[in-house]
Amino acid sequence: MLQCRTAQGGRTVRLLRPVLPHLRAERGRKHARVRAERGPSTNKGENGGAEARSAEHRRVRGIPPADDAFQAGNRALQAGKIQEAEDRYEEAFRLRPSPDVAANLAQAEKALGKRAEAAEHIAYAIRTRAASTRPEQKAAMEALLAELQKGVCSLSVQANVSGATVSVDGRPVGTEPLKAPIFLEPGSHIIRAELDEHEPKEQMISVTPGTSLSIKLVLVPKEGRGGGGGGGKPLWPLGLLIGAAAAGVGLTAAGFAVRQAKISDAEELGAELPDNACTFGGTDCERITDLYGQSNSFLIMGVAGTALLGLAAIGTLTYLAVPGGDGPKRRPSPQASLSVVPMLGPVTGVSLQGRF
């Protein structure tokens, strides 16, 4: 109730409290309770709420997230919000790599001065474009790539081991073999290749704009990962080569030693006979002839052992010179061995005993 005094007779008149302000205050308190129940909004103002409702509406209608992000990038690009457009295009490309997304992403990156990233994505769009792409669209993409290449370096990287991860300045760019060149901003960069059970390989390069460069990184197996493993050379060929070398040494020594013994026996037997005793033949003369024949056979064996020793030496040097590579895992092979035992007596010769 309100009271006021009138000018007529000084009477006091009682008036009702105004109703409209009271209703407005009550409505305001109700809206405050509703906003408190909904929780704090992540968007500013009514536009943020409308955007959230629109995204929910598209989700309900079954629009894929990649298409949703791509359309959001288009709206941001048309509105001049280049950074927001790049973020939305990157999200769409991560969800679904496609030539149209890559081309639009390249446009946003070019506007932000990211020439290397823009060249990478427009090159992807050209490689993966559909056969139905219109000629003017293809020409526009190729013209954009040519323009971007004037300010970057095109780098081709190879590694000697398939599956090695290649990175540039700590950012992975793919695995060996790389399907496309890498685009780099002018300056110094560190190129690295790494693979399990191999020593990583790094190379620092300095590049200039508008150039092309090619490098090869050679990875070597880690120590202790050799024989029988998938990352180095097996040891069993080396064991065979060592065994062959030992056999060559044995054959050479035995062949020449036994040959000399046969010649000595023949000379001793001949010294006991009178002059011209073998003119008409005889048992002793046949024995001397046989001893000289055997000495020639052991001479051949000694020469063969020397040749085997030389071949084993060449094979060992070749094995040590060739770098190891990836190969299927093998069971450890037993150590090879070979021994040569001369045999003297009624049956003269050598005995070869080996294990492989």
Give the pLDDT confidence of 156-185 residue by residue, as tens digits.
999 999 999 999 999 999 999 998 899 999
Tens of pLDDT along 102-128? 999 999 999 999 999 999 999 999 999
Q: Round to whole Å and give the CA distance between 323 and 219.
A: 10
pTM of the predicted model as reported, rounded to 2 decimal places: 0.48
Q: What is the mean pLDDT of residues 240-264?
A: 87
Least trusted range by pLDDT, from 69-73, 268-272, 275-279: 275-279
Distances (CA, A) of 197 to 225, 254, 287: 7, 45, 66
**For the chain, counts of helices (H) and of strands (E):** 9, 13
Domains in the chain, CATH or no CATH each: 56-148 (1.25.40.10), 151-222 (2.60.40.1120), 236-355 (no CATH)
d(CA 292, CA 288): 6
For residue 264, what is the DSSP state? Answer: H
Long-range pairs, 68-72, Cβ under 8 A, ≥24: 69/95, 70/100, 70/101, 70/104
User: Cα–Cα distances in Å, from 50 out to 57, 85, 197, 238?
Assistant: 10, 19, 54, 75
Cβ count near 256 (within 10 Å): 17
The pLDDT value recorded for residue 5 is: 47
DSSP 217: E
Rg of the chain taking only CA atoms, in angstroms: 46
| Rounded alpha-carbon distances, angstroms, from residue 254 to 213, 246, 352 | 60, 12, 11
Q: Who has greater pLDDT, 277 or 248? A: 248
Please state, in angstroms and rounded to a whole number, the distance separating the CA atoms of residues 342 and 259: 11
Place of tokens 């000289």: 292
- Assign 302 a pLDDT band (cuts: 50, 70, 90): confident
Return the bridge partners of 247, or none: none
User: Pick the residue with more confidence: 11 or 74?
Assistant: 74
- Picking from 191, 153, 152, the residue whose alpha carbon sits closest to that of residue 169 is 191
